[in-house]
């Protein structure tokens, strides 16, 4: 009987961790799609014109590289200059070359130096991503119109 309880508790614990991982993955991907809208909103709030925008993207080393590259690719459509601050610059070399050839976009990749001032006039820090953006609400409400 004890074996079945342990097996059931292991299965339940595994199910809960899988649900949490699915929720994290889903929420991050929903944010990725919204990146251009978020940057436009932040740019307008700061009073920065589109042609004067120098965006800094701060990489999160804990996230898979393809997710950060996907965010950078979404941002390349409307920018003139993009700074990427990262601890893994080799990942963004191909993106920088493609952006220069296809769009004429200059992507400057910096090594992350703690305590140093960030370049650009608007920063998008992926490390603090989900703490500061309130786009996703996991609670659904039933409404009734009378």
- Residue bearing the bigger pLDDT, 111 or 136: 111
Residue 125, pLDDT > 70, answer: yes
Provide the pLDDT for residue 2: 64
- Please give the Cα distance from 47 to 62 (Å, whole number): 32
- The b/e string for 77-86 (b: 16+ C-beta within 10 A; e otherwise) is eebebbbbbb
The tokens of 23 are what? 């929720």
Q: Residue 84's pLDDT band (boundaries 50, 70, 90)?
A: very high
Provide the pLDDT for residue 15: 57
Q: What average pLDDT does range 67-86 have in this prediction?
A: 88
Residue 119, pLDDT > 80, answer: yes
Provide the pLDDT for residue 131: 65
pLDDT tens per residue across span 19-29: 555 555 556 77
Q: Residue 30's pLDDT band (boundaries 50, 70, 90)?
A: confident
pTM value? 0.69
- Please give the Cα distance from 128 to 41 (Å, whole number): 17
Provide the pLDDT for residue 109: 92
Residue 82, pLDDT > 50, answer: yes
- The b/e string for 126-143 (b: 16+ C-beta within 10 A; e otherwise) is beebeeeeeeeeeeeeee
Q: Which of 17-31, 70-84, 112-126 has the lowest mean pLDDT?
A: 17-31
Provide the pLDDT for residue 11: 57
Residue 141, pLDDT > 50, answer: no
């Amino acid at each position: 009987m004890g074996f079945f309880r342990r097996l059931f508790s292991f299965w339940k614990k595994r199910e809960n961790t899988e649900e949490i991982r699915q929720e994290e993955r889903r929420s991050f991907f929903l944010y990725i799609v919204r990146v251009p809208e978020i940057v436009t909103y932040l740019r307008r709030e700061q009073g920065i014109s589109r042609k004067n925008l120098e965006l800094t993207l701060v990489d999160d080393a804990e996230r898979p590289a393809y997710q950060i590259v996907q965010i950078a690719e979404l941002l390349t459509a409307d920018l003139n200059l993009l700074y990427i601050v990262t601890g893994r610059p080799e990942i963004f070399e191909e993106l920088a070359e493609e952006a220069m050839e296809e769009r004429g976009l200059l992507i400057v990749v910096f090594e992350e130096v703690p305590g140093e001032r960030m370049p650009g006039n608007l920063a998008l820090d992926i490390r603090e991503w989900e703490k500061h953006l309130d786009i996703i609400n996991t609670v659904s409400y039933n409404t009734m119109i009378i």
